[in-house]
């Protein structure tokens, strides 16, 4: 580690979760996300930001792009599967290119441990769902601010956005994912864990803060 990185101000760690059917170039949502991120920076006296994102289509990429372009935020890619398996999620060459560009721009890449056989993970089903749930649990545990681009509906499968939000607000994640053994990012002290719920249909923003300082239960 260089002297410059040791002396850098600790960042506010911002996680993202949300729907995949959101266009990454949705200008209205991008403007809302940018406004909320700027407010986080002001609230913490110009602190740098690190984004934790799974780089999936939709919310993951929109927030990562906005944060990097408007604030010069750092990016950690938190991936559910090795590329050989994960790229099946992306239907077009353009989507794959977007994913690869964001991954290449990431300061760190973290892959979920494989919790099933490669054969089982190559198919869509519960073993593969648990891989996505692992990154949701990682983000819920490590983030200080969670941006959820989400309609507020209950979870429809293992590790969906509703579950990630619940884990974040509860301050705990399922034991089976063993997030305590996963890599850590050193966060800024004294940041209240805050959910920023942005409804992509109504564009309304709800802010829900947990008053316990982030890092206390990591």
Q: Give residue 181's pLDDT.
A: 87
Assigned CATH topology for domain 9-213: Rossmann fold (3.40.50)
Q: 7-66: per-residue pLDDT in tens? A: 478 999 999 999 999 988 899 999 999 999 999 999 999 999 999 999 999 999 999 999
User: In this predicted model, what pLDDT tens digit does every residue of 107-153 receive, in sequence order?
Assistant: 999 999 999 988 999 999 999 999 999 999 999 999 999 999 999 99
Full DSSP string of 48-90: -EEEEE---TTHHHHHHHHHHHHH--EEEEEESS-HHHHGGG-
User: What's the rounded mean pLDDT across residues 142-166?
Assistant: 92
Q: Report the alpha-carbon distance of residue 21 to residue 179 in Å, rounded.
A: 28
Domain ranges of the chain: 9-213
Residue 196 has phi, psi (to 5 degrees) of -110, 100
User: So what's the pLDDT on residue 154?
Assistant: 87
What's this model's pTM, rounded to 2 decimal places?
A: 0.91
At residue 4, the pLDDT reads: 41
Residue 152, exposed/middle/buried by CB under 10 A (0-12, 13-18, 19+)?
Answer: middle
Q: Can you name the residues that pair with 139 across neighbouring β-strands?
A: none
Percent above pLDDT 90 for the chain:
79
Q: How many CA atoms, within 13 angstroms, populate the side-chain half-sphere of residue 72?
A: 3
């Amino acid at each position: 580690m260089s002297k410059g990185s040791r002396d850098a101000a600790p960042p506010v760690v911002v996680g993202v979760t949300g729907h995949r059917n959101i266009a990454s170039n949705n200008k209205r949502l991008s403007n809302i996300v940018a406004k909320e991120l700027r407010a986080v920076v002001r609230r913490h006296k110009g602190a740098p930001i690190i984004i934790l994102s799974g780089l999936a289509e939709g919310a993951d990429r929109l927030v990562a792009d906005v944060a990097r372009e408007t604030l010069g935020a750092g990016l950690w890619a938190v991936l559910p599967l090795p590329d050989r398996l994960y790229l099946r999620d992306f239907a077009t060459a353009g989507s794959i290119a977007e994913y690869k560009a964001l991954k290449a721009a990431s300061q760190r890449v973290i892959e979920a441990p494989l919790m099933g056989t490669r054969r089982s993970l190559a198919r869509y089903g519960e073993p593969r769902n648990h891989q996505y749930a692992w990154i949701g649990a990682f983000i819920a545990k490590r983030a200080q601010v969670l941006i959820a681009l989400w309609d507020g509906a209950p979870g429809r499968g293992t590790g969906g956005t509703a579950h990630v939000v619940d884990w974040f607000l509860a301050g705990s994640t399922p034991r089976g994912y063993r997030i305590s053994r996963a890599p850590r990012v050193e966060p800024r002290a004294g940041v209240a864990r805050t959910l920023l719920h942005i409804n992509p249909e109504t564009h309304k923003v709800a802010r829900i803060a947990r008053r316990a300082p982030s890092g206390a239960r990591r």
